[in-house]
């Protein structure tokens, strides 16, 4: 793996190694300085709390340095081409972590970058989130063999979660209005990949059916960054059916947990009561953003010392 733009850029073995290292970082702490002398650029076009701070903290804990680059303060904002920006940054830094509105823009950066490029969220993918999600589930479940239900919008978070579940053979069922499902050719591919390693990928419009037998119920906002003009229309289509409620948990496994990538819009995609209940593992999930980011950087830039 040279760049990490989407989950499918990594092999099953690479993903498992990253998750194992992340679990080790959480259990044993950050020992040694595997990123000593490394400088990581965080190029962000959009706001962020978890991704920005977890990557920054991970780099510092690993002995490296971070340069935060809001895109609005670079010459990019005055029209300098991405391909020039990428080749210039390459002369200064050892990796670029980028949050961009357009996935194709990220692909341009990756094409012109000799240094690793990591996707910190685009319109299509959020692979770093999915790494943390699966590590969280593994820790909570005490191993593999769990089932996940994703309820709501099939955006970047859903796509990356489905990709990682497919590659790792985790059972996942997505419940969403049909018009929001991932494209049919993608669903077909993910089903094939999942079945080749003993997992399954299912799509349904019925959230109550989706959660049967689930260990984890996961949701995200119905209106992602950049889609604000669709706010009213989306709420009409998703509510009230796709809001995660305490009642929905009655259909899942007894001890099923609630997950959300955050930030949350309480009362829209999930009831506040669920978020604040002891089913919720959202803060462990947020913590894992740091451990999996650290493990990803070490796997791309050098081994633990
Ligand atoms: N989940 C997530 O990516 O959070 P931020 O937008 O705060 O980085």
pLDDT at 95: 98
Average pLDDT, the chain: 97
Q: Buried (b) or exposed (e) across 187-213, using 16+ Cβ within 10 A?
A: bebbbebbeeeebbbebebebeebbee
Quote the tokens at residue 28: 């044993």
Q: Domain locations in the chain? A: 7-125+289-301, 129-285
User: How does pLDDT run across 84-108, given as a tens digit for each residue?
Assistant: 999 999 999 999 999 999 999 999 9
Residue 66 tokens, joined: 């971070």
Residues in contact with 265: Cβ distance below 8 Å, sequence separation at least 6, in sequence order: 221, 222
136 has pLDDT over 50: yes
CATH architecture of 7-125+289-301: 3-Layer(aba) Sandwich (3.40)
Protein residue with least CA distance to atom 1, ligand 1 = 261
Smallest Cα–Cα separation from 134: which of 251, 241, 10?
A: 10
pLDDT tens, 4-45?
999 999 999 999 999 999 999 999 999 889 999 999 999 999
Does this model's pTM top 0.95?
yes
Any atom of ligand 1 within 6 Å of the Cβ of 50: yes
Q: What does the pLDDT look like over 187-218, one tens digit per residue?
A: 999 999 999 999 999 999 999 999 999 999 99
CB 106 within 8 A of CB 128: no
* Fold match, 7-125+289-301 / 129-285: yes
Q: Which candidate in 6, 125, 128, 129 is catalytic? A: 129
- What topology does CATH give the domain 129-285? Rossmann fold (3.40.50)
What percentage of residues in the chain have a pLDDT greater than 90?
95
Structure confidence by residue, pLDDT tens digits, 63-86: 999 999 999 999 999 999 999 999
293 within 8 A of 135, measured Cβ to Cβ: no
290 Cβ closer than 6 Å to some ligand 1 atom: no
Residue 157: CB within 6 Å of ligand 1? no
Residue among 220, 234, 260, 279 flagged as catalytic: 220
State how far the alpha carbon of 126 is from the alpha carbons of 91, 115, 240, 278, in Å. 27, 20, 26, 26
Q: Which residues of 37-64 are buried (b: 16+ CB within 10 A; e: fewer)?
A: ebbbbbbbbbebebbbebbbbbbebbeb
List 261, 279, 285, 291, catalytic entry: 261
């Amino acid at each position: 793996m040279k760049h990490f733009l989407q989950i499918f850029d990594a092999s099953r073995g690479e993903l498992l190694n990253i998750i194992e290292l992340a679990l080790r970082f959480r259990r044993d702490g950050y020992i040694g300085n595997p990123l000593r002398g490394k400088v990581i650029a965080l190029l962000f076009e959009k706001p962020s709390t978890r991704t920005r701070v977890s990557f920054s903290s991970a780099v510092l804990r690993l002995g490296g340095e971070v340069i935060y680059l809001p895109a609005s303060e670079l010459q990019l904002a005055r029209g300098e081409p991405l391909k020039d920006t990428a080749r210039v940054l390459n002369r200064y830094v050892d990796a670029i972590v980028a949050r961009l509105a357009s996935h194709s823009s990220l692909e341009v950066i990756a094409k012109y970058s000799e240094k690793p490029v990591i996707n910190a969220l685009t319109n299509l993918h959020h692979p770093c989130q999915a790494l943390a999600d699966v590590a969280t589930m593994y820790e909570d479940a005490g191993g593999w063999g769990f089932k996940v239900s994703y309820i709501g919008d099939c955006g970047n978070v859903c796509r990356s979660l489905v990709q990682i579940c497919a590659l790792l053979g985790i059972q996942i069922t997505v419940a969403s209005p049909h018009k929001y499902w991932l494209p049919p050719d993608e669903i077909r591919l993910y089903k094939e990949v999942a079945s080749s390693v003993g997992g399954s990928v299912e799509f349904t419009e019925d959230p109550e059916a989706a959660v049967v037998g689930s260990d984890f119920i996961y949701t995200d906002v119905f209106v992602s960054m950049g889609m604000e003009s669709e706010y009213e229309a989306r709420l009409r289509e998703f509510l009230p059916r796709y809001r995660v409620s305490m009642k929905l948990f009655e259909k899942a496994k007894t001890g099923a947990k609630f997950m959300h990538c955050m930030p949350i819009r309480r009362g829209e995609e999930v009831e506040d009561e669920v978020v604040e209940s002891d089913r919720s593992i959202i803060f462990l999930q947020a913590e894992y953003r740091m451990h999996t980011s650290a493990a990803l950087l070490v796997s791309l830039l050098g081994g633990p010392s």
